[in-house]
Structure formats: C-alpha cells, structure tokens
Amino acid sequence: MSDAGLTLGLEEDPLLLDRQICFPLYAATNLLGRLYGPVLGKLNLTYPQYLVMLVLWEQQPQTIGALGARLYLDSGTLTPLLKRMEGAGLLSRARDQNDERRVVVTLTKRGKTLRNQALHVPETMANGYNAEGVDALRESVRDLVSILAQHSTRSRGSKTA
C-alpha cells in the first residue's frame, strides 16, 4: 500500500516474483544441480566438474582460458576446481612451454576412461521426460545465453544498445 506511483490501470507490479525471467532460470538450475548430484556422485564428480569433463572429452588438451570461454567461467572459479580434479587423478595441469602464462589441462588415462561411465548420465537424467519441447527450450535458453554473454563485462565493455 501507499504506492505513490502513477497507476495506468494496465500497469502491473514489475517486482512480482512470477514476472521475473531470472527466477525460473535460477530455480531450474538449482533443482537440476540437485538432481544431477546423486547421479554424478557415483562418478565422484560434481556438476561443474562434469561440465569441465564434457568440454575436455570433446577437445583436449585445452588451456584454462579456453575452458572458461566455453563455460562462461573465469579462473577464480576454475583454478581451484581444476586443482581438485587434478588431485582426483582426472587431469594434469602444466604451463604451456610456448607461453608460460598459460596453463594447459590434459586428461589422464583415468579421466579418459571415465567417459565410459558417464555415457549413461544423460539418459538417466532424461528418464521419464518426454523430450517434446526440450529441444526448443534448449535453443531458446541458448539464444538468451548468447545475448547475455555479449553484455558480460568479462568479454567486452560496450554498453551501446
């Protein structure tokens, strides 16, 4: 109450939780992480670690910077994460000889073979869901990501809309 704003009749409260696009994304991400947890736990992986493995299984070796570009994460997140994975024997980290600033991440044999156990993960997670509409949803969210990434301070500073 005591809203001193101008009410145009069609104006809706912009602060209603159900009007935010950000909240369903936030909730879905948390819920998904919770569902992935037990499944990935059997592989001794966390959800972000699983994503790193997905990238490395596609292409390998890669620098930390390249991993971050793909996953939209920076070294502040990746460095300790990769160290834990190195400790788990999944990968090794070494300075690039051609450019000592870079750190190259390489899968160990153990990291490569883990892929076999991970093959059933997508199927397990999708269990019971009809993929109807999922493809379209994935594309929509992906479009959103590409838009958001352009506005990210980490990539560029252009504020021109």
Residue number with CB closer to a copy of itself (35 or 94): 35
Q: What's the min distance (Å) between Cβ of 100 and a copy of itself?
A: 29
Considering the rule CB under 8 A, would residue 34 count as an interface residue with a copy of itself? yes
Per partner kind, with CB cut-offs from 5 to 8 A, the member of a copy of itself, DNA, none near residue 86 is none
- Which helix (H) or strand (E) segment is 6 a member of? none
Per partner kind, with CB cut-offs from 5 to 8 A, the member of a copy of itself, DNA, none near residue 108 is none
Q: What's the min distance (Å) between Cβ of 28 and DNA?
A: 10
Long-range contacts of 109-118 (CB under 8 A, 24+ apart): 111/53, 111/56, 111/85, 112/57, 114/43, 114/45, 114/53, 114/90, 115/53, 115/57, 117/42, 117/43, 118/43, 118/45, 118/50, 118/53, 118/57
Considering the rule CB under 7 A, would residue 89 count as an interface residue with DNA? no
Q: DSSP 3-state assignment of 92?
A: strand
**What residues between 107 and 146 interact with a copy of itself by CB under 8 A?**
115-116, 118-123, 125, 127-129, 133-134, 136-138, 140-142, 144-145
